[in-house]
């Protein structure tokens, strides 16, 4: 992982055919039957009792696992080929959700990502232009003007966008609000997002933080460098980092307006047991941040965490 999340195309960070035949479906089912459901409760009563003592993410995994089992049973009993295809589509979506909850980033080839976007554009009548680099980073043309089209793509069940570069686009809190709604969608797969050099400000940070707390959030790497973020923005983000649904491991907050007050909010979050952050970048803010005792305390509690002030 690059030291400062500042690599192109971060630009400084980072269909199937409808003609599915019976043989395709049987092959798909054979693959899905290899999924380990060993943790699935044997009875509804046991399932209910276990869920009461599980963290929210584990409950969601069990629920989705049970839904996968039900869909598998349905498709085996269904003789109508069209209904089988519908069930298979639902099955793939549930398995995708299960993988994401387990913390796995989807690994799509650039060709797969390009094809998925093209198909969604055709289906939805979209005209947005885009590029995909060799690492799977997607960069859309004129995102500020075409944000509604980007959202339609991110919310589509067949979308394969896991890394999106929206840097240097003058995005405001208004755009942040719309984008946050897409990140809350169950079909969202974005794990890496670059929002460097926009105009989000504290209000925009609030919307982003709300998305990071959502149960459908998948974002693990986020670049918020140069976004006019102050102590208020730090408070919003800190709240998100302390929530169980948060999955952020790398966060870039360089070149903002963070002071020692904001650092204290962040330090409190980093010390929290629900924080997954392993790398945080704070260079280019108040020089006193490097001397903030609360951040020094974080290193004592979590010695492996990287807090970069350069």
- Residue 149's CATH number: 3.80.10.10
The count of domains in the chain is 2
Please give the mean pLDDT across all residues of the chain.
Answer: 83
Q: Per-residue pLDDT averaged across 195-208, rounded?
A: 98
Is 63 contained in some domain? yes
Is 52 contained in some domain? yes
Strands 221-223 and 163-165, by their bridges, are: unpaired
Q: 157 with 255, same domain?
A: yes
Q: 273 with 188, same domain?
A: yes
Q: Is the dihedral of CA 268, 12, 205, 230 positive or negative?
A: positive
What letter would DSSP give residue 106?
A: P
pLDDT score, position 42: 46
Q: 220 with 297, same domain?
A: yes
Is 5 contained in some domain? no
**H runs (alpha helix) in 164-259:** 173-183, 201-213, 231-241
Going by pLDDT thresholds of 50, 70 and 90, the confidence category of residue 229 is very high
Q: 93 with 125, same domain?
A: no
Going by pLDDT thresholds of 50, 70 and 90, the confidence category of residue 9 is very low
Round to whole Å and give the CA distance between 288 and 281: 14
Round to whole Å and give the CA distance between 299 and 168: 33
Segments forming the whole domain that contains residue 81? 35-101
pLDDT score, position 25: 53
Q: 79 with 184, same domain?
A: no
- Determine which helix (DSSP H) or strand (DSSP E) holds 136, and give its type and residue range: none
Q: 271 with 133, same domain?
A: yes
**Residues in contact with 293: Cβ distance below 8 Å, sequence separation at least 6, in sequence order:** none
Instruction: Kindly report which listed range (70-74, 208-212, 220-224, 261-265) carries the lowest average pLDDT score.
Output: 70-74
Q: 124 with 212, same domain?
A: yes
Round to whole Å and give the CA distance between 278 and 270: 9
**Residues in contact with 86: Cβ distance below 8 Å, sequence separation at least 6, in sequence order:** none
Is 171 contained in some domain? yes
Q: Does the structure show a pLDDT above 60 at 33? A: no
Between 145 and 30, the more confident residue is 145
Q: 65 with 165, same domain?
A: no
Task: Copy the structure tokens of residue 301.
Answer: 């509690």
pLDDT score, position 18: 35
pLDDT score, position 59: 67
Q: 252 with 121, same domain?
A: yes
DSSP three-state, residue 212: helix
pLDDT tens readout for residues 36-68: 444 444 444 444 444 444 445 566 677 888 888
């Amino acid at each position: 992982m690059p030291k400062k999340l500042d690599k192109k195309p971060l630009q400084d960070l980072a269909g199937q055919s409808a003609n599915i035949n019976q043989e395709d479906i049987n092959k798909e089912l054979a693959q899905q039957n290899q999924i380990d459901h060993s943790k699935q409760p044997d009875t509804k009563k046991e399932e209910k009792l276990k869920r009461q003592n599980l963290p929210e993410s584990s409950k969601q995994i069990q629920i989705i696992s049970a839904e996968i089992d039900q869909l598998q049973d349905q498709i085996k009993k269904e003789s109508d080929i069209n209904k089988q295809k519908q069930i298979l589509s639902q099955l793939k979506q549930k398995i995708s959700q299960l993988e994401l909850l387990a913390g796995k980033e989807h690994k799509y080839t650039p060709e797969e990502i390009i094809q998925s976007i093209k198909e969604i554009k055709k289906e939805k009548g979209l005209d947005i232009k885009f590029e995909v680099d060799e690492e799977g980073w997607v960069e859309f043309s004129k995102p500020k003007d075409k944000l509604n089209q980007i959202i339609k793509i991110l919310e589509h069940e067949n979308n394969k966008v896991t890394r999106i570069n929206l840097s240097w686009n003058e995005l405001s809190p208004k755009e942040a609000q719309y984008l946050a709604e897409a990140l809350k969608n169950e079909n969202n797969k974005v794990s890496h997002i670059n929002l460097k050099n926009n105009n989000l400000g504290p209000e925009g940070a609030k919307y982003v933080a709300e998305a990071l707390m959502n149960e459908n959030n998948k974002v693990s790497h986020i670049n918020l460098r140069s976004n006019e973020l102050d102590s208020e923005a730090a408070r919003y983000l800190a709240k998100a980092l302390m929530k169980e649904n948060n999955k952020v491991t790398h966060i870039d907050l360089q070149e903002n307006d963070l002071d020692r007050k904001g650092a204290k909010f962040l330090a409190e979050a980093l010390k929290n047991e629900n924080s997954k952050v392993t790398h945080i970048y704070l260079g280019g803010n108040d020089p006193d941040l490097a001397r903030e005792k609360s951040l020094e305390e974080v290193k004592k509690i979590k010695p492996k965490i990287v807090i970069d002030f350069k």
